[in-house]
Structures are given as C-alpha cells and as structure tokens.
Chains A and B, each alone.
Chain A
Amino acid sequence: MATKRTLIGFQFEGVGIDAGKAGGLCVSWGRWSPHPSSDLEWVEALADLPDAVSTEVNPYTGDWSTSAFSVQLYASDRLARLFLSDQRRAQAALAFGINSSTGVVSIGDPTLAGSVIWVDDEAIYLTSHSGLGVYVCTRGFWGSSAVSHALGALVYTRIPQWQMRLVRLIEHDVDTGAERVRWRGLVRDIDMDRGMITVSCDEYLAALTRAEVNQEAPDLARGAGLAWQRFEAATYLKGSPLTGYASRVRPTGDGLFCFVDVDGVIGRVVQSRLDGRAELDVLDWIYGPAPDVESGPYEGSVYEVLVVTPDPNVTSIDVATYPDAHPLTVALVLLTSSGTGRNGTFDVLGERWGLGLDIVDLASWTAEIDRSPHLQIDHLTLGAGGSPVNVLQVVQDVLLRPFGYFLSVTVEGLLSLARLGLPTLAAQAAAGAGASVYPDGPLVLERALGEQAQQISVTVGGTPGTREATPILIREPDRLTRRGLLGDVRAHQYDLQVLDPRRVANPRRSGSAVLNALASLLSLGLDTVPRLRVRIADHTVTGTAAPDLGAWVALADLGPLEDAWLVDADGERVSDVTGAAWIGMVVGRAWDLANHTYTLTLLLLGYRVGAYVRERAPAAVVAGWNAGTLTATVEADTFGGAPTDPETFTVGDEVTLYERDGRLASLVVRTVTAVTASSITLSGAFDTTPTEGRVLGLPLSNEFANTTRYPLTPRPYAAIADEGEGIIEEMDGATSPPDIYGSFVYGGA
C-alpha cells in the first residue's frame, strides 16, 4: 500500500500574513513540511483535527446534511491580532470603478505600495505605486475572488469583517504539492478563551438554507396613482410615470419591461407607447382572464415578480445557449445571479434576485441540461405579493425534485446535482472496475424498510396568478395488512407547481405522461432500495467519478472477506458484489481526515432488477455511397445531432442495411472500420447498393458483438427478445435474461 503524506489545513478567504504567499494563510495540523510549490502560507496552529467530513443526502426527499466545524487555533501573537480584530472604518475609496480583470486601482493614498487592501470581499495586493495614488495590483489575492467594484467602494487596510468569510479545508500532498479542497464553509463567529481561538463555521450549503432574495420588495402602486381603464374588451392598469424605477428582476436592456402581480393576476408592464416613458401600463394579462373590474382608481398593491414560461415573450429569464424554461437553467439562474452579469452564463438576474454563488459545479449542471434538453417547466412565478423567496428551497423542492434531481456536494465541496435512476451502462463505465473494501471497516446491508413509500402525493400548479392547484395521489397496490401499525402511510410529497394543471386535468395527453413519470418515481421508492455501507481508501476509488453524492461506485470483489451474509434480490446468498445489482449511488460520504478513507453509503438502485439500463442503438441515413472506398456518406443529425449520427457507431460494430420503413434491404452484415462526423466506412459492400434514404443499422444480436464501447458488455443496446429466450450475452458467460424493452420502466421523472 502506498504511503500518503498530507497536511490538513483551513484556509480563510482573503486572509494572510505573508504577502509573498499569494494563496494566503492556511492554519494546519500535521508534522510535515509543505511541498515547495504551495503558494499557501502554512502555519501549524490547529489544536486538533476534525475526525471526519460527512455529507449525506436522501435522494427521495432531497434532504441533505453536511458537517459543520469549529476550528480551534493556538492563539499566537500574530494569529490573535489577525483573527480577533477587524477594521470598521474605511481608509479610502476607489477613485474609479474596476472590473474583475482590471490591473490598476486608484485609491488616493500614495503610501500603500507592497501592502494588501480589502474592497468588499476581495483582497488586492498593491504591487507598486504608479503615482497619484494609482497602483499596479494583483487581484483576487489570498484566496479571494476578483470581482468588479464600483466607484467609491470603500477601501480597508485590514480585514474589514470576518463574518460570512469563506473557509476551505485543504488537503495538501507534501510529496507532490497537489492540493484538494475537501470542505467549504463560512465563518459564523470567533471567540478566544485563554490561549485558544475558536472559529465557528457553518457549512457553506447549510448557511444558504435561510438565504432569501426579493427582500423589501417595493410596492409599485405606492404614489403611482394607478387606475383601471377599460378599452373595448381589454383592461389596463395605468399610472403616472415611475421615475427612477428600473426592473429589479431583469437588470439590463429592457427598461421597465417586467411582470407584476396585481391582486394575484400576473400582468406585463410595457413602456408607454406614446412617449416611451417608464410608465406602469399593465397591458398584457399573462395568466388567466384580465381582471373584471370597472374603470376607476386602483387601491391595491403591485409587486414586480419573476415569471418563467417557455414563451420567450413571457419570461423574465434570457440565458444564452441554454433553454430558458429548463428547470436546471432556472435553478442555476437563481443560484448564480449576482446582478453584475459576471458570474457566468447564468448570471442574468438583478442583484436582489440571485444568491451569486461561485461554488457551483457548473459543468455537472450544464451536462445534465444537455442530456435532457426536453425538460421544461410550464410556469413559475416568484415574489408574488412582494414575498421574499427562499432560493434553496425553491431550487430543491420546486425545480429539482419533481424532475428526479437532487442537490449534491462534490468531494471538493462544490454544489452539484445528480438524478435518481437505475444504473446505466455509462454509470457502470464511470464507476470503473471497482473499489476494494477496507477489511476492518463496516460491511453493512441495510434493508431500509422504514423508507418504503406507499404513495406519492402531488400538487400540480397553483403558482400565484395561475390556475388552482390540482392534487394527485398515486398509491401502490396494497401489500401490507398491518399498515395501521405503522401509524400512517408513508408518502412522498411533490410540489409540481411548475406544471400546468391542465396537463393532468386532461388525461388525454401529457397528463398521462406526468402520471407515468410520477409512477416511475413511486416505483423507485416502492421496492425499498437497500443500502450498502462500506469503507474504502480515498485513493482507491477508480473510474472517472470521485465519490460525489449521486455518483456511482462499484466495488471490487470482497476477496477474503466473509461476504456470504449478503443476499441478493432473489433471496440467495452471494459471494460476488461486482454485478449490476451491487453498483451503488453514493448517498452518504464520510471522509476520515486521519486515516484517509471514505465510509460510503451506497444506494443499490440496481438491486431489484440486477441489470444495467441499456442504450438505444445507433442508425444513420445514407446520403451517398462510394463503392471504391466502401464509404457511405450519411446524414449527420437525422437522429440526434451531437454526437452526429455516424459518430454514434463504433469501429468494430457490425451493421446491415435497412429500407426506410425498416425492411431489411440486405442480409449481408459488414463491419464498421472508420467513422467521421459525416461518413461510415465499412469492411465490404452489401449486395444491395446503399442508396440515398436507406438506413444503416445494427444486425441481429447474435451477429453483433463489440466491446469497444463498453469492455464488459459486447451488446450494450436494448433489444427486443422473445420471452424466455434472452439474447446471447458473453459478459458473464451465459445467456442473459431477455432484455425486452419494458424491463426498465424505472427512471427519473
């Protein structure tokens, strides 16, 4: 076993002592000297090391919990001066505004060269003085983030405030210099008792649970002299010009274009068409009928609201390249918007309408949007009646959970997401060959009987200004005669306010799709999914994914461990945990700082079906055929787009030729020897020319085998087999069960 030598330390955002270490101060525990490459100033001052960093999530409810720490430091002279004081009075102000990449600042005072100043949450190192109080500077110093600052922003020469300052737990490999963030939190309080400084921290995500936006929303009706006006069949709410008011939701470009809540009816404000002035002129009533009122003064309130619909003319969100009404787009907009537009692609809302988070693992979110571009919400209205909005609650309960997603925390403490579902072949590939279980750790199979759900209770619609909510109850068939002893029926409750109740009220169409998806969710919780708790070395997790919450982890065979107490879904004892039944989704993770192990709780979502969800087989429409090079040029995006249709084939795939209606055009089977974005080259010609419009596809399963895509599976595609026959599958040396479509009706919402 390899020896791993690490330093563990806490780094505080924008805090340092030595300006020669741009990474800032890191108070540590450990007897090793840091690797010379580290730009952190390591100070061995931790009195103790936390036992573990724990994170858990319940993917059915979306509830999660994370560790919080109290960091105890030895109160050396310089640390005490640093941690127990802050500068309450600014020393200067910026003479001009700067953006996140501006390399000079002007603060008037010419005496600060070589020192660090603080502007907002950012520490800036003043490298040299250029004269007249203008300095060349290093931005984002000591672990802070370079952001824009306005003209007149206050300048401090010591740390201006400690509360809510970001704290990171750093693992530093003293042999390689590699550093990983293992946890993120925010300073809540600092106190000193004799020689010890205690820094109390909240975990970052937990600290945000109370965060609200749209606080102190102004009543636009106040002083505006609003009055109802009826013109023919239309109803208008008109008022005097709202001088000085700009939309808080859409900060740029649209003037007063915004949506408002008028006594529960959502209307759109447009600029006066007469003179272009900013006038409250509620012209379009977005939801429901226009208010049935007579002309006359309006005595109620008007609040600006955030509205999201798939209609580009009726939405507050405009995100480049991503669908605006996708639930994950909306979630990212709420999580990352800072009002500056500089916190990434999704920073499109006004200052009071987003959390401005910069710890979001954007790649995982956008990859999921790309995987499921068809998801969309029908409508969402936030801030009705001027009410504050708890962003994390909306994201978790309204935007993620109804679609099967749940918030996840990566091993580096970034905010990610995952989706509840059965293990797929891609999950299997990502999980890799499997992690070895620690012999002295737990090997616990939890049946999780207490989590069995008997019904799903759903409320559809009901967003302010829209139609009334429609309740739905989906129950499992009764299998328990002593349910009364449980005290109550265990129910999953879902808030589907983002869906139009008409989808459900009209059973002829998508209502059925909604119910189908909900039934799938119930199915995932219906057959209590067991959990396996194991301990593994933190460097033995193989595959592409770290054990982030929601990631899939496979286990290596238990080897000499006594594993016969594990029982599979058929009630048989097993000696092998390498199959699909034992791949697990990480729902709990405790990182032991001292021993460098993970204790993982794995949700065995494949336990019941014992199979991976297979994939849809490729096909490509022929556009032309070169008999000399045996290359078919094919249409690129008839069946998908990215990757292109030919690129969904793998070299080594056997293919045959179909007519457009699915008849076999040729019984000859050839092998793919090369693919490009627009062509497929074959090992030989068919006995029928692949003319334009014919389709290249896979042959029967007994003629197809290619382990290039998934080494463990020569036939990764779902197939339609005769009942009881099964397809020939060489993965386990036997004929696999029939892979009839329908075996895998479970999935996300």
Chain B
Amino acid sequence: MPSGYDGEDFVGIDEELIEPSGPAARFWSTHLDNAIASNIQNLGELGDAVTWAPITNHGGDYDEKLQLRPYASFARTDFLVLPWYYPQDSSEIEVGLIARVADETGDDSTVRLYVERWNAALTQQLAQQQPALANTEGATPQFQDFVVTLPFARTQEADAVGALVLGLVSSKSASAIATTLGGGELFRAAILRADDANFYEDTTDPRPNSGGFDTQASFLTGGGVELDHISYPNNETSAGGADLTGQLMGILGPGVPVSNQIQRFGLSCLQLKGLDIWQRYEDTTRPAAQVYAALKPLLGEVVVTHALRLDAIYTRPRPLWVGPVGYLPNPEAPEWPTGYHYRFSRVYGDDGADQELLSASLWVDSPSPRLLVLAYVAGLHLWPVPGPEGSDARSLTPQIEWEHVLTVRQLEDGDASWAAAAARGTSTTLRTHAHHAHDQASLLAMSEAATRYPATGGAGGGPGEGYAYKEGQISPKLDYGRLELVALVVDLAGYDHNTDRPLRLDWTVRTQTPADEDWGDVPNTSIDGSSVQARDLDTLALVVVGCTIWELPQ
C-alpha cells in the first residue's frame, strides 16, 4: 500500500470526492473509504504531546547553565515521577529532553538516563530504556536534544493509569577531589556544617561547579562503600545545638564504620531546560484492507467504523500539563539561596487557611470537558527531625484529613487579573492522607526535612545557606512506598472551547483539624531547645512529586 493510504500521511479529502450534484450522484468509492481510513490512522498514531519546563531564575540561552538545578547521584535517583494515563491503543512513549550533560571535574563523562513505565502502585516495572547520555560540554550550545523512545511490550488493550519515571545515575570522576575523613570514623556522622567553607559552593561560584558537594559523592578507598551526599537539619547538641537552625551535610542511609580513608569524587550531572513527552499509538482498529475493497456490499456497520474510530481518537484522554514545574523561594525565606528554585510543590499543615498546592495554565479545546488531575503525593510527618543518629520515636504515621479544592477559571474581556476571572468549574474532595514518619534512609524524607527546617542562622547556617541537596529527586527503592496516587476531577460544564482563552487550574488544600486519634500514638513532645511540638500541624507536609492534568472530552 503506497504512502497516502497507509496512515503515514494526512491528505485532506476534497468535497469533490463526496459532494452530490443534483440528481446526479457521486459514487461511494474504495478510494474514499481508504483515504478516510488512512487519515484516521494518521491522526490516531500521531498521538498527543505535552511539554514540561522547570522554572528557572534566568532567561539565558541554551548555553546558560548556572542556577539551573543539576541532577546528580551515584545511586539511582528519579527526578520525574509522573502519574500517567495510558489509554487504549497507546504503544510507546517518546521523551525528548533539552539537557546539558556535564562533569565539573573536567571529565568527559556521561549520565545514565532511566526512562521507565511502572504500574500505578509503583510496585512493578513494565518497560524501561537506559540510554547513556553523552557529555555535552563540548557541544554548541551545551544544551542538546536527546530523544528516548520507550516501547511497551504490548499495545495497551485498555485504559490504565500508571507511572512514567525518569531517573539517572551519574558517572564518577576519574580521580578523587579530596580525602574527606580519616579511617576508623563512623562515616554516618556529619561531614560538614553549613557554615563550613565550601558547604555552599555557590556563595562564590554559582552551581554547578567543581566544588559543589551536591554533585559529589564519597567513596571508601578500596571500594565497598559508595554514598551520595545529602543535607539535613541539625538537631544534635553535639553538632551545633538542637535549634533546628543549622544544617549538616552527610550521606544517605545508616552509619557505616570504616577503617579506610573516604574520598570525594565528582559526579556527572544532568541539567534540564525542559522536555516533551509524546504519547504514541498503534492503530489496532483499522479494518483489513478487504473490508474497504471495491465491489463489496456497502454495509452501514462497516463504513460507520470511520465515525467510531474518529470519535475514539477524539475522546482519548489528552495530556495538558505536567508538573510540578517548581517555584521560586518566598522573599521571606532568605535561607534559600537566591536564584534557585524549589522543584517539588509542598504545603505544611494549616487548618486556618486554604493553601495553594499547584497552579497550572491550560489550553482546553473540547466543549464542556472533564479535567482529571493525577498526582503522586507524599504525606510526611517531619518529626522528630533526625540527626545522623536520630531519635527513636519514628514508627508512627498520623492519618490526617485534607480538603482538596480544584478551581478552574477563565479570563474574559475586562478581567484585570485571574482573581477576577470567572470560575468554569470547581470541585471539592476530602481525603485522608497517611503522613509517613521520618526515616533517615529516605532521600525524600531527608530532603523534605532539610527544606522544611533550613539553615536560618545560628551555628549551622545563615541567609542563603538553606539549600537542600537533591530536593526534587527521590530514591526509587524506599521513596516509591511513600507516594500516593491522587486522582481529582473537575467538570467544566458549559465551557466554550471556541473562546480561545486559557484556563487556570488552582489546586488548594486545607488541613482539616485533626482529632486526637488521627495522630495515633504520636506523643506531643518537643525537642530540647525548640518550640516546635510533634503535633503541630505544620509538621505535616503534603508534597507533590509529580502531577499530570488530563482533558477527558465528554
């Protein structure tokens, strides 16, 4: 079958092939049926695309690298864990990255990228690709396109929700940067305090740079121990006082007694300007060629499949938005270094006010659609704030109810701001979230604790020194179990898709005042030297790790 009738091209069909002319009539031909079928196949296989670009604090070109968060880790971490709607007939995902692969130590090393499909519960991996992304520091511009295609083992037979995961593993620099610690020490102890030199390398040289500990890892001489660096709040008397104001740098996981020297090595890193996700389909519904052959009895049930197939394509769920895209620090949080953004969205418990969890601008092109918001949300109880040896009461998980409100607004002529825009749809959902107790082995818990309790001053930190290493990355091994898939819908009844004006979706939450039993057995204690108590609402964090918004045409 030549091009044009096999779905490879879309060829507009002229009315002269169809239009009757008075008492004379145009015959319904195999040419017409095949052209329609092929166009529908082309449309169907074309699929849907959506883009994601993290917020940055600069508008630089594709060579501009500074102040754009570098992702690096020697152990596998994931920087994008998205709930994804895999509709019937979807056959592969194509991910295109605009990325810079660099190694600040000067090696021309690569980053191993992981593009994976998981089931919704993140318990089973269903497809994966692991390309090595070449170093781009010598390229012009330094940000280059990388395209990774993730085919499914079998074309999707029925709609399913799952996960789309992007992760990475960095390469280790050829030679050590420095010796960190002497032999015989308990390596789990803090390596640096926030006010130590080089803790935040960008005080003199914005990251990524060769001295940044967040793009380094520690290795035991002779092998056997390979550990990524994290930052975490200091509540240890021995390390600077339990005032929650300091911050320490150490390694993730339990302590490791070592006898050999520990050395620091540089890691290759990945910086993303953005990516696009293209959901592609296989046409499994195109009838055999013989069905549209000439001289066949022209049965309605056969030809009406054109309309059915087209309708099936039109009514597919379409991805509209991927997030979170991150946000810049509040001016009232001077501890977060200027020029850097937070990657995940989060709120802390508050039963007195609605708090914005996410906001998204959307272009919707079907009348009165339903919007589906899918999100992986982690409920955390940031208590007790652990030190390297931590505290002992960490097995309890408060069950707290939150109110989720989705509001979709649309600007009209005369509206001066979004606040004045008319609401096209709203929905309210009450949902109880488990707030996982702290765990020092969890990258998510540790980085969220460091974000919640940054170095604000005192012995361990100061303004601009509250940067949390690896915020925006999670560890697949332990953190998947903390993610909860949340699905919220809002119907846009009466939405006129011809208005050609964008919509804005706001997702706000409010903590419902918990009853005593909601806290379980969490004792309402405090840490010496701190006014924070365990049952304070703002010890509860709701973190959006990944979110997608879908248009479901009705």
Contact = CB atoms under 8 A, between A and B. Distances in A.
B295 interface: yes
B463 to A, nearest CB: 49
6 nearest A-B pairs in the assembled complex, by CB-CB distance: A662-B17, A745-B300, A640-B293, A619-B31, A719-B25, A617-B27
Contacts of A374: 287-288, 290-291
A290 to B, nearest CB: 11
Contacts of A715: 27
Contacts of B14: 659, 661-663
Contacts of A143: none
B48 to A, nearest CB: 14
A655 to B, nearest CB: 11
Contacts of B301: 513, 516-517, 520, 745, 747-749
A638 B5 contact: yes
Among A641, A660, A745, chain B packs the most CB atoms within 10 A around the CB of: A660
Given A512-B311, A640-B289, A640-B290, A615 B295 contact: yes
A278 interface: no
Nearest to A374: B288
Interface residues of A, number: 76
Interface stretch (B302-310, B341-349, B470-478): B302-310
A504 B17 CA distance: 34
Contacts of B24: 700-703, 727-728
Contact of B315 (A500, A508, A663): A508
Contact of B294 (A639, A700, A703): A639
B88 A506 contact: yes
A614 B22 contact: no
Contacts of A727: 23-25
Contacts of B11: 660-661
Interface stretch (A25-33, A62-70, A682-690, A736-744): A736-744
B132 interface: no
B302 A747 contact: yes
A57 interface: no
Interface stretch (B32-40, B167-175, B451-459): B32-40
Contacts of B29: 616-619, 697-698, 717
Given A512-B311, A619-B294, A741-B303, A506 B158 contact: yes
A613 B288 contact: no
A371 B299 CA distance: 13
A229 interface: no
5 contacts: A512-B308, A615-B295, A619-B29, A741-B300, A745-B300
B30 to A, nearest CB: 4
A502 B1 contact: no
B159 A616 contact: no
Interface string B76-89: 00000000000011
B299 A661 contact: no
A661 B298 contact: no
A662 B32 contact: yes
Contacts of B290: 371, 373-374, 640-642
B12 interface: yes
A79 B308 CA distance: 67
Contact of B299 (A613, A617, A662, A722): A613
A578 interface: no
Contacts of B303: 741
A506 B298 CA distance: 27
Given A506-B88, A747-B302, A616 B288 contact: no
B25 A639 contact: no
A341 to B, nearest CB: 28
B182 interface: no
B23 A725 contact: yes
Contacts of B25: 700-701, 719-722, 725, 727, 738-739
A746 B312 contact: no
A557 to B, nearest CB: 26
Contacts of A718: 27-28, 298
B299 A701 contact: no
A621 B38 CA distance: 15
A508 B293 contact: no
A637 B157 contact: no
A744 B2 contact: no
* Chain B binding surface SS class: loop
A613 B298 contact: yes
B297 A424 contact: yes
A555 interface: no
Contacts of A424: 297
Given A516-B301, A615-B295, 12 more contacts: A502-B157, A508-B88, A513-B305, A616-B292, A617-B294, A640-B292, A702-B24, A717-B29, A720-B28, A739-B25, A741-B298, A747-B301
A717 B27 contact: yes
B516 interface: no
A506 B286 CA distance: 17
A222 interface: no
Given A508-B88, A516-B308, A619-B29, A648 B293 contact: yes
A233 interface: yes
A722 B157 contact: no
Nearest to A648: B294
Contacts of A726: 23
Given A520-B300, A722-B20, A639 B31 contact: yes
A620 to B, nearest CB: 9
Interface of A: 233, 371, 373-374, 421, 424-426, 500, 502, 505-506, 508-510, 512-513, 516-517, 520, 613-619, 621, 635, 637-643, 645, 648, 658-664, 693, 695, 697-698, 700-704, 715, 717-722, 725-728, 735, 738-739, 741-742, 744-749
B78 to A, nearest CB: 20
Contacts of A701: 24-27
Nearest to A745: B300
Given A645-B294, A662-B13, A747-B300, A719 B159 contact: no
Among A508, A517, A638, chain B packs the most CB atoms within 10 A around the CB of: A508
A233 B302 CA distance: 43
Nearest to B33: A616
Contacts of A642: 290
A80 B20 CA distance: 76
Given A513-B305, A717-B28, A664 B16 contact: yes
A638 B2 contact: yes
Contact of A744 (B288, B289, B298, B312): B298
Nearest to B13: A662
B34 A638 contact: yes
Contacts of B158: 502, 505-506
Contacts of A641: 289-290, 293
A513 B157 contact: no
B298 A745 contact: no
B124 interface: yes
B285 interface: yes
A509 B317 CA distance: 13
B30 A616 contact: yes
Nearest to A613: B297
Interface string B262-300: 000000000000000000000001011111111111111
B18 interface: yes
Nearest to A722: B20
Among B11, B31, B299, chain A packs the most CB atoms within 10 A around the CB of: B31
A640 B30 contact: yes
A204 B158 CA distance: 44
A615 B27 CA distance: 9
Nearest to A727: B25
B4 interface: yes
A46 B90 CA distance: 69
Interface in B403-451: none
B4 A660 contact: yes
B21 interface: yes
Contact of B20 (A371, A373, A725): A725
Given A516-B304, A697-B29, A720-B26, A426 B288 contact: no
B316 interface: yes
Given A506-B88, A648-B293, A741 B28 contact: yes
